[in-house]
Amino acid sequence: MNKLAPSMLSIDFGHMEEQLMIVAGTGVEIIHVDIMDGMFVPNISFGPPVIKYVKKAIPDIKLDVHMMVQDPSRYFDKIIQLGVDNITIHAEATENLRDDLLKIKDYGIKAGVAISPDTPVSEIEPVLGIVDLVLIMTVYPGFGGQKLIPEALDKAREAKALREDKGLEYDIEVDGGINRENIKDALDAGINVIVAGSAIFGEHTEENAKEFLELIK
């Protein structure tokens, strides 16, 4: 089953609770939470206090945390104690990818590995056997509202083929520049978790979320 994970990076933070309730009301089951440190990416987003607030506002929704943070394990404790469902870390952001992923799993939550557009799937092949999710970035991480890089979708195909070859079960998630026009391409490439920020949140959040939920059926 395909899943939709609206990215709250694009939310109107002045109306955060209201906007979260709106997407929750459409049947969305996951919110994608982008944490940026200003080091791994040239932008800073938000951290644990905001996640805590989100959890309080919509306790039943799964929180899919995407850490765009250098040496992410420094923050596992703080984030995981807030009740998040999975943490995805970047292969490019740590010298200890395998250990960091195992640390996440030790907490009893799901672990994901993300690759930026210039990183090949071969880089994460050694950890595919321990992850619950592979996140294919279709833009350079750091900002919402960018244009999808179509070539990056080929990596979803690769991740899918490897999953079959190796008899594994991880989800394949896409993040960056997804809209009504290219969502089918992503699904065709083998993606089953769709992240979308600027295409969902805005003046027509409810209609957008409902439409995307239909498109992924």
Return all residues near 99 (Cβ < 8 A) that are at least 6 apart: 73
Within a 10 A sphere around the Cβ of 98, how many other Cβ atoms?
Answer: 14
Q: How far is the CB of 117 from Zn ion (least distance, A)?
A: 13
Q: Does 9 bind ligand DX5 (CB under 6 A)?
A: yes
Site for Zn ion in 164-203 (CB under 5 A): 175
Q: Does 66 bind Zn ion (CB under 5 A)?
A: yes
| Contact stretch for ligand DX5 (CB under 6 A) within 3-11, 78-86, 89-97, 104-112 | 3-11
Q: Does 37 bind Zn ion (CB under 5 A)?
A: no
Q: Is 34 a catalytic residue?
A: yes
Q: Is 37 a catalytic residue?
A: no
Secondary structure (DSSP) of 25-61: HTT--EEEEEEEBSSSSS-B---HHHHHHHHHHSTTS
Rounded to whole angstroms, the Cα distance separating 202 from 47 reads 22
Q: Tokens representing 102?
A: 């195992």
x/- mask, ligand DX5, residues 38-77, rule CB under 6 A, reads ----------------------------x-----------
How many residues are there in the chain? 217
**Which residue ranges make up the site for ligand DX5 (CB under 6 A)?**
7, 9-10, 32, 34, 66, 139, 141-146, 175-178, 195-199
